[in-house]
Amino acid sequence: MFKRHTPIRSFVLTVFAAVVAWGFVSAQDHAHGAHGGHADVAEHAAEHAHEGDHHGSHDEAEFKAGEFIVGHIADAHDIHLWGHTHIPLPVILWTSEGLDIAMSSSFIAEGDHHGHADRTYHSESTGVHYTMHGSEKQAHGETILAGSITAEGVDVLDLSITKSVFGMLLIMVFMLWLFGSIARSYKKRGTVAPTGMANALEPLIIFIRDEVAKPAIGKHADKYLPFLLTVFFFTFFSNLLGLIPFIGGFNITGTLGITLVMATLVFLITNFTGNKHYWGHVLWMPGVPAGVKALILTPIEVIGLFLKPTVLMIRLTANITAGHIIILAFTSLIFIFGKGGEEAVAGMGIGVFSTAFMIFMYLLELLVAFLQAFVFTLLAALYFGDAKQEAHH
């Protein structure tokens, strides 16, 4: 077929073949209503059909794409690998009665799977009875969505290590190890050409320094570089981790709580390092009539101070989440057309189309993973540059 089998061509071919095959197998699985050690995403849908069979109700057997997708992109209290295999994460609850720490697996689903979706946990030490409110989906032993723990008569502060927090810490430890070892290799080798990981990542570091920080900030760039580099690599690695299938579908940079912190840091750094010129332009723009300034310009500029990091936060979260949603939506298509195994052929047919499109989306998402990290870093650098701009009149 191809005259030359370059590595990249072979790789793309293999991936394509694998994904198409996976699509077929998933659809067939679906038809038999069987549980297997298959892919995360497909397994979910398959299980759904299975659970539906248990209850015998046709309504429940119906595949709910919305729930399926949210279950994958929302933050959760465990890492769902496949089937009934979960990695429990610590649930940390701070209440007026004291601190409770338990693994998410200690929360037991109560009652029958039909009506009650809640899981409960009774703490021995504080005597608090916690309830984890979940959707119907969660009752089926699937992902436990975060942000839903309450206790009667007690205020609960949920400080759990959720999936996204765990992923974030994982990325940070990885970064500390990676860049720590790179720094050591630089120290050891001196001014000789770099090797290995240092060699691989050096272009990115230089790119951020020379193409992002220096043009945007100018001579003060060095001061902001550690932040910009940290944010860039954190975002980039997090985005990439979110694209790796079968490991629980991390959506770190698609979690608002995390992007909120990143944006807030940008806001704080911008405004705490802002010079006289910057504040002059924000609060009392020179060369504009006083009335216009007081009534229009200054309010707009002040709103802008908060708007800029907010947009930064939303852009990153929305882009990464959207990418995940599209891939999951095309997976859902297979099961929607397959109708819980009743129309396996239609499911398979759509599966071919869906997988082909998913490959395209995955490639696009690889680009987006870099692009969004770059855009976040570039805009942060531009805001820093604004704050540090000298008067040039």
Interaction between residue 158 and other proteins (CB under 8 A): yes
Q: Quote the CA–CA distance of 274 and 297 in Å, as a whole number.
A: 19
Interaction between residue 164 and other proteins (CB under 8 A): yes
Q: Which is nearer to other proteins, 19 or 258 (CB)?
A: 258
Q: Which of the stretches 111-119, 197-205, 292-300, 379-387 binds other proteins when contact is defined by CB under 8 A? A: 197-205
Q: Quote the CA–CA distance of 249 and 241 in Å, as a whole number.
A: 8
H helical segments located in 92-161: 136-139
Q: Quote the CA–CA distance of 163 and 66 in Å, as a whole number.
A: 20
Q: Which of the stretches 237-245, 262-270, 284-292, 304-312 binds other proteins when contact is defined by CB under 8 A? A: 262-270
Q: Which is nearer to other proteins, 255 or 372 (CB)?
A: 255
The interface mask with other proteins, positions 321-350, x = CB under 8 A, is x-----------------------------
Q: Which is nearer to other proteins, 169 or 307 (CB)?
A: 169
Amino acid 223 reads K
Q: Report yes or no: 347 and 382 within 8 Å, Cβ to Cβ.
A: no
Q: Which is nearer to other proteins, 159 or 352 (CB)?
A: 159
Handedness of CA 105, 107, 110, 114 (dihedral sign): negative
Handedness of CA 199, 203, 208, 213 (dihedral sign): positive
Q: Which of the stretches 29-37, 79-87, 200-208, 359-367 binds other proteins when contact is defined by CB under 8 A? A: 200-208
Interaction between residue 197 and other proteins (CB under 8 A): no
Q: Quote the CA–CA distance of 131 and 76 in Å, as a whole number.
A: 15
Among 99, 206, 300, 345, binds other proteins (CB under 8 A): 206
Interaction between residue 174 and other proteins (CB under 8 A): no
Interaction between residue 73 and other proteins (CB under 8 A): yes
Where does 316-383 show beta strands of DSSP type E?
none
In whole angstroms, the minimum distance from the beta carbon of 281 to other proteins comes to 28
- Which residue in the block uniquely carries the two structure tokens 């892919």? 39
Interaction between residue 258 and other proteins (CB under 8 A): yes
Q: Report yes or no: 123 and 106 within 8 Å, Cβ to Cβ.
A: no
Among 101, 265, 285, 352, binds other proteins (CB under 8 A): 265
Amino acid 341 reads G
Interaction between residue 88 and other proteins (CB under 8 A): no
Quote the crossing angle between the two packed helices 7-32 and 344-388, to the nearest 10°: 130
Q: Quote the CA–CA distance of 159 and 167 in Å, as a whole number.
A: 15
The interface mask with other proteins, positions 221-250, x = CB under 8 A, is -x--xxx-xx---x----------------
- Residues touching other proteins, count (CB under 8 A): 53
Lateral strand order in the sheet of 149-151? 108-109, 119-122, 129-132, 149-151
Tokens for 170?
């994982």
Tell me the CA distances in angstroms from 307 to 82, 292, 299, 321, one per residue in order: 40, 21, 12, 21
Among 25, 87, 154, 161, binds other proteins (CB under 8 A): 161
Q: Interface residues with other proteins (CB under 8 A)?
A: 70, 73-75, 92, 145-148, 157-162, 164-165, 168-169, 172, 175-176, 179-180, 182-184, 186-187, 190-191, 198, 202, 205-206, 209, 222, 225-227, 229-230, 234, 255-258, 260-262, 264-265, 321
